[in-house]
Amino acid sequence: MAAELVAIEAVAGAAIEALLDRAFGTDRHQRTAYRLRAGTAPLAGLSFALVEAGALLGSIQCWPVRFLGDDGAEVPLVLVGPVAVEPARQQGGLGRRLTAAALAAADARGLNLMLIGDPDYYGRFFGFTAAATAGWRLPGPVERHRLLARGAGVPHGDGTIAPRVTASA
């Protein structure tokens, strides 16, 4: 049976959390990306799961954040990830499929994206770069070369990235 892509709302939240614990470890909540999504919910329409015979195989979540420029400009952004695949099913293309689905949905809406991730992977396959992000401040430590963005409206200046509470995409 082939894995089916579904909206993440179709899957129990506890199952997603258990998958993320298996893929990232239970200390994952300390990461800077988690501070960026505090108080927000995954964006419907941009967050997906892969299921097969009722079993959850993978998930990707996207979150509403914003750039608050030192010049007063405010730009809504979408934080992409985490993407996680059940350990026993990794290396089979599922992670790439989840990421492609979320990015296609975001592009269809003309959204500006950011993520913290491997620049080789996200650059090579999906066109993300760190070119705009040098002046971005985050609520925790980040390796600058892993702070990536994509989109025509991504801000290039100095400013702070923060959760965008009570927002839709």
Ligand X SMILES: CC(C)(COP(=O)(O)OP(=O)(O)OC[C@H]1O[C@@H](n2cnc3c(N)ncnc32)[C@H](O)[C@@H]1OP(=O)(O)O)[C@@H](O)C(=O)NCCC(=O)NCCS
| Chain residues in the site for ligand X (CB under 6 A) | 23-24, 81-85, 90-96, 117-118, 121
- The least distance separating ligand X from the CB of residue 72, rounded to whole angstroms, comes to 32
Q: Which of 3, 104, 103, 101 is nearest to 50 (CA)?
A: 3
- The least distance separating ligand X from the CB of residue 121, rounded to whole angstroms, comes to 4
34 or 121: CB nearest ligand X: 121
What are the residues whose beta carbons fall under 8 Å from the beta carbon of 121, sequence distance 6 or more? none
34 or 156: CB nearest ligand X: 34
- The least distance separating ligand X from the CB of residue 43, rounded to whole angstroms, comes to 16
C-beta of residue 48 within 8 angstroms of C-beta of residue 40: no
**Beta strand spans in 2-151 (E):** 4-7, 48-52, 55-69, 74-85, 113-116, 136-137, 147-150
- For residue 140, the tally of other CB atoms under 10 A from its CB is 12
Taking CB atoms, the residue at the shortest distance from ligand X is 95
82 or 159: CB nearest ligand X: 82
Q: How far apart are CA 153 and CA 26, in angstroms?
A: 35
23 or 62: CB nearest ligand X: 23
- The least distance separating ligand X from the CB of residue 94, rounded to whole angstroms, comes to 4
